[in-house]
Chains A and B, each alone.
Chain A
């Protein structure tokens, strides 16, 4: 075990980023076009990074697995994006956003990074507005704000329930503008399957063309990974169907440390599962908790009754009861765990008993249907469509689902991994959210990383390292390509004879993860999970059934490769959860809770980032980055 250094700049918190920017070396304008940069991923992080790097003059190659960069998973974000503009004049500031984020993350994130995130947040809004992103506005023409996800100030900017879509289209258009200018080349329907390292430095990637099956080599002076989170390890989640951990995991196997894999966010307001065929879960934006009231019947005997027939006195608005100060707006982990508890008590509603009500009756009565429709119309519409129930008439039924992963590849202050030349941005890195992410802060982080941080830090890297051109004929490319081909061949050869489909094994993995590495974890459960995951991995490599061949479009083959990686990452998640003998944020160990059932952190022992190294034998070694809190005092989160 070694101690990791984040290379955060010296100086007071509010000066750190400026200081670093001033110290950085610049790449001469004429030289920029000679430097090729690979950006993998076209979500908010990758789209904005590739656009900005292209605009700065670098030669950029941009990769994504979808058929167009516009379809990255970021498109699905609904609720909004935070910034400290303080337009509503309700006392917001950079410090307050920083503090909320650190506290919301249960004091498990790095001060310097989190502060910088709050610092650049306002630039993001200015940038997006300049691009023509149609944020919600007031009648007077100014931008509208709302309070979101447990914040006590209104700092969330939004575009109806489609904030991610509009921000992503802004970044996508900026990206295509660089395509128009000849600065960026797009490689859509390409999956990165390996990282190529030469002399310990990231120098390229191996991709598979998902239409033709061709294996391709791409060399560069720096690789920026923006490939999103690993929530799909759980099979059912709110993430898009193709979201995956493959690119990050393969970098991990080439030496990049994976940090805090056990930090997973389970979002409280999702549409409950309805059957075994289900392929994903749909999020109902958290903004709904601003006006909706969460409840279950006080008494089990009422659970079958139509909710409208249950009188006020028989309803348990459990969040309002337990947390009078924050009520329905407690952070996500708290809201989710409490939903689980009431369902475990047998007071859950709906066909499966795994749901709670989110009721708009009072909001409609107080504000009028029109106002509610204006705020949430498209969400109500979506709910109605999926469940065939009208939320204007009956309360929504909701249940927690895996939504976001705070863990990810370890990066330093400049968002570079421990492999020189490999940068990681957006949800794929671990950096800013600690053990729990606050609502409307992932969009902020993705765009902060992509527009305002990575473009400078990549330049600093290029200016400081003497990077020689490499050819894709280099033997490191040969070796990586061979490994990629071997894995595909092996999967297909097992796949011909196998008996269980990729989806069947994948669903089993998801179930193990939900039951034992989910909302609430125990030592015993985690040990069992580990064994079960290893067994599933063996089952996969000995008995998976995969149709078709590798020389054309083959969705199941793609998925098989991703599931193979999830089956490895899942084990590391269990190991990390086992080692972290405390409860913090989204990581709740039943052994570590207060008498009132709230999470108990163990700061003396666990105030660190666990960054895992993979070794050749498939074992993991942990490296620790101690978290130093010089500016905030560690406190126990209380939302009472």
Chain B
């Protein structure tokens, strides 16, 4: 194992607070085990920094298995790094080469202000969901779950959209910093399912408006979002959202 150890050079964005000036700092990390995840490599760097009396590099993470959507930053210009269908917590050092210089910076978008170092504020996503990204049912007695049948194909497709982890990579990857993939995934998941149909028009209208209100850019069909999405959510969801939105505007349902 010892022979496989790598040396990595990091250029990391350090920013002490929301209103502070940020800058890149360089770090060299020796003896990086290729089986480490990227975050574990940063853990090791941070332990050294703490011992040296410096402040560690702040980054967000929780599940560390690609499902909670907490982690995320830009690695060498790519949201969550170059590897497809992967969050940074699932990225392993074996996908880098010995001696490589890696540039690490936070999501950059007006609607995602930096909190510290690589940590950003994504509350805008919650506000988009609060603007109708739900089915209006209360808790209480409901018809038997099998009383409404849903074909496996429809249900699978809805699932594909529902797999979004809300990490924000789509926004970070988009030159316009648009949140269309995030919003589109929820609009289209719920529009596809019988439970979500009754309020699909109102939902599409309100969620799209909220998205604009938050300061996200417009979608111009570049497709970087799909490429960066760790869950490989299809850009077709954006097309579906646009159709839903137009339908809502014209039929006012």
Residues of chain A having any CB pair with chain B under 8 Å: 48, 51-52, 55, 66-71, 73, 75-76, 85, 87, 123, 125-132, 134-143, 159-160, 162, 164-166, 169, 172-174, 176-177, 179-180, 186, 188, 211, 240-242, 274-275, 277-280, 282, 351, 382, 385-386, 388, 451-452, 455, 501, 503-504, 545, 547-548, 552-556
When the two chains form the complex, which single residue of A68, A129, A504 contacts B122, counting CB atoms closer than 8 Å? Answer: A68
Known contacts A67-B122, A70-B166; 7 further A-B pairs (Cβ under 8 A): A87-B146, A134-B193, A135-B155, A137-B152, A176-B133, A282-B64, A388-B35
Most buried by B among A85, A134, A278: A134
When the two chains form the complex, which single residue of A85, A87, A126, A275 contacts B36, counting CB atoms closer than 8 Å? Answer: A275
Distance between B167 CB and nearest chain A CB, rounded to angstroms: 10
Q: Does B60 contact A (CB under 8 A)?
A: yes
Residue pair B139, A67 in contact (C-beta under 8 Å): no
CB-CB under 8 A from A141, the residues of chain B are: 149-152, 155
When the two chains form the complex, which single residue of B51, B92, B134 contacts A177, counting CB atoms closer than 8 Å? Answer: B134
Residue pair A277, B43 in contact (C-beta under 8 Å): yes
Most buried by A among B50, B131, B142, B152: B50
A67 to B69, CA, bound (A): 10
CB-CB under 8 A from B123, the residues of chain A are: 67-68, 188
Residue pair A132, B63 in contact (C-beta under 8 Å): no
A131 to B162, CA, bound (A): 12
CB-CB under 8 A from B115, the residues of chain A are: 211, 553
Return the chain A residue nearest B52 by Cβ. Answer: A547
CB-CB under 8 A from B134, the residues of chain A are: 131, 173-174, 176-177, 180
Residue pair A132, B193 in contact (C-beta under 8 Å): yes
26 contacts between A and B (CB under 8 A): A51-B139, A67-B70, A68-B123, A68-B126, A70-B166, A71-B69, A75-B63, A87-B146, A130-B137, A131-B135, A132-B189, A132-B193, A134-B193, A141-B151, A142-B149, A173-B135, A176-B126, A211-B121, A278-B40, A279-B39, A282-B65, A385-B86, A385-B92, A388-B94, A547-B53, A556-B56
Residue pair A240, B55 in contact (C-beta under 8 Å): no
Residue pair A553, B116 in contact (C-beta under 8 Å): yes
Return the chain A residue nearest B41 by Cβ. Answer: A277
When the two chains form the complex, which single residue of B66, B94, B129, B155 contacts A176, counting CB atoms closer than 8 Å? Answer: B129
A211 to B43, CA, bound (A): 20
CB-CB under 8 A from B46, the residues of chain A are: 556
Residue pair B162, A134 in contact (C-beta under 8 Å): yes
Residue pair A137, B150 in contact (C-beta under 8 Å): yes
Most buried by A among B37, B67, B145: B145
Q: Does B190 contact A (CB under 8 A)?
A: yes
A76 to B67, CA, bound (A): 6
Residue pair A66, B135 in contact (C-beta under 8 Å): no
Q: Does B33 contact A (CB under 8 A)?
A: yes
Distance between B233 CB and nearest chain A CB, rounded to angstroms: 13
When the two chains form the complex, which single residue of A55, A160, A186, A554 contacts B159, counting CB atoms closer than 8 Å? Answer: A160
With A176-B126, A385-B90, A385-B92 in contact, is A48–B33 under 8 Å at CB? no
Return the chain B residue nearest A387 by Cβ. Answer: B35
CB-CB under 8 A from B69, the residues of chain A are: 70-71, 75
A137 to B159, CA, bound (A): 11
CB-CB under 8 A from B150, the residues of chain A are: 137, 141
Closest 5 CB pairs of A and B: A141-B149, A173-B134, A126-B142, A176-B130, A129-B145
A126 to B145, CA, bound (A): 5
A391 to B196, CA, bound (A): 38
Most buried by A among B60, B65, B135: B65
When the two chains form the complex, which single residue of B36, B62, B148 contacts A241, counting CB atoms closer than 8 Å? Answer: B62
Residue pair A138, B152 in contact (C-beta under 8 Å): yes
CB-CB under 8 A from A172, the residues of chain B are: 129
Residue pair B36, A277 in contact (C-beta under 8 Å): yes
Residue pair A279, B125 in contact (C-beta under 8 Å): no
A264 to B132, CA, bound (A): 40
Identify which of residues 18-49 in chain B touch chain A, using a CB-to-CB cut-off of 8 Å: 33, 35-37, 39-41, 43-44, 46-47, 49
CB-CB under 8 A from A126, the residues of chain B are: 141-145
Distance between B201 CB and nearest chain A CB, rounded to angstroms: 16
CB-CB under 8 A from A548, the residues of chain B are: 55-56
Residue pair A279, B151 in contact (C-beta under 8 Å): no
Residue pair A241, B126 in contact (C-beta under 8 Å): no
With A75-B63, A501-B47 in contact, is A66–B68 under 8 Å at CB? yes
Residue pair B138, A55 in contact (C-beta under 8 Å): yes
Residue pair A455, B139 in contact (C-beta under 8 Å): yes
Residue pair B139, A127 in contact (C-beta under 8 Å): yes
Q: Does B10 contact A (CB under 8 A)?
A: no
Encode contact with A along B57-89: 1 for CB under 8 Å, 0 otherwise.
Answer: 010111111111110000000000000001000
Distance between B8 CB and nearest chain A CB, rounded to angstroms: 13
Q: Does B99 contact A (CB under 8 A)?
A: no
Distance between B216 CB and nearest chain A CB, rounded to angstroms: 16
With A67-B123, A70-B126, A503-B47 in contact, is A76–B68 under 8 Å at CB? yes
A321 to B4, CA, bound (A): 40
A503 to B123, CA, bound (A): 29
CB-CB under 8 A from A128, the residues of chain B are: 145
Residue pair A552, B130 in contact (C-beta under 8 Å): no
Q: Does B163 contact A (CB under 8 A)?
A: yes
A123 to B66, CA, bound (A): 30
CB-CB under 8 A from B41, the residues of chain A are: 277
Residue pair A137, B129 in contact (C-beta under 8 Å): no
Return the chain A residue nearest B143 by Cβ. Answer: A126
Residue pair A85, B166 in contact (C-beta under 8 Å): no
Residue pair B146, A67 in contact (C-beta under 8 Å): no
Distance between B240 CB and nearest chain A CB, rounded to angstroms: 15
Return the chain B residue nearest A210 by Cβ. Answer: B115
A75 to B165, CA, bound (A): 9
Distance between B175 CB and nearest chain A CB, rounded to angstroms: 25
Q: Does B221 contact A (CB under 8 A)?
A: no
Residue pair A52, B139 in contact (C-beta under 8 Å): yes
Residue pair A279, B40 in contact (C-beta under 8 Å): yes
When the two chains form the complex, which single residue of A127, A386, A455, A503 contacts B43, counting CB atoms closer than 8 Å? Answer: A503
Q: Does B104 contact A (CB under 8 A)?
A: no
